[in-house]
Amino acid sequence: MGSGRFARPSLWDNTVAMLMMTEIRARTRFSDWPLALKSILGFWLFYAATVVARAFLGTDPTTTLINKLSVISIGIVVTGLIYLAIASIGFGHTIRRRAITAAAASFRPPRSTSSCRRPFPTAHTTPRSCCQSRE
């Protein structure tokens, strides 16, 4: 066996990377985008498949598909924007901050609660300007 205190230099002085080791990549802000893209598309495409199946059980599948698939495409875009918000604002922070960022990005601003807004007039009401005073 070995005659010295240390192993021979060809064994311990190996400065070349081992072939089985993968290179360690720097973790960047959007390094998980492939997983995020697959998750977003997988969720929405599964939902689209259920919508298609339900549409053909109804009476007018074409209209249902046009309406629902446009909503699904908007949902894909909005979910992607929420991912971008989480990845850009929550990078390097705790899961609590990422959850707060996701919740804040998910809510839309409230609608105007002006007293002028009314539903469409019914048969027993007379149409009038939105901001006319009521007498």
Closest CA to 87 of 33, 24, 26, 25: 33
Residues 106, 82 contacting (CB under 8 angstroms): yes
| 69 falls within a domain | yes
| 5 falls within a domain | no
* Distance separating alpha carbons of residues 34 and 68, to the nearest angstrom: 26
| 95 falls within a domain | yes
Q: Could you tell me what percent of the chain has a pLDDT over 90?
A: 31
| 21 falls within a domain | no
pTM value surpassing 0.85: no
Q: Which of 5-19, 20-34, 96-110 has the lowest mean pLDDT?
A: 5-19
| 99 falls within a domain | yes
Number of alpha helices (DSSP H) and beta strands (DSSP E) in the chain: 4, 0
* Distance separating alpha carbons of residues 88 and 84, to the nearest angstrom: 6
The angle subtended at Cα 94 by Cα 75 and Cα 22, nearest 5°, is: 85
* Distance separating alpha carbons of residues 4 and 8, to the nearest angstrom: 8
pLDDT tens profile 80-124: 998 888 888 877 788 888 888 888 888 866 666 555 555 555 555
> Over 70: is that where the pLDDT of 45 sits?
yes
| 51 falls within a domain | yes
| 128 falls within a domain | no
| 100 falls within a domain | yes
Instruction: Print the domain residue range for 66.
Output: 28-106
Q: Specify the pLDDT at position 73.
A: 94
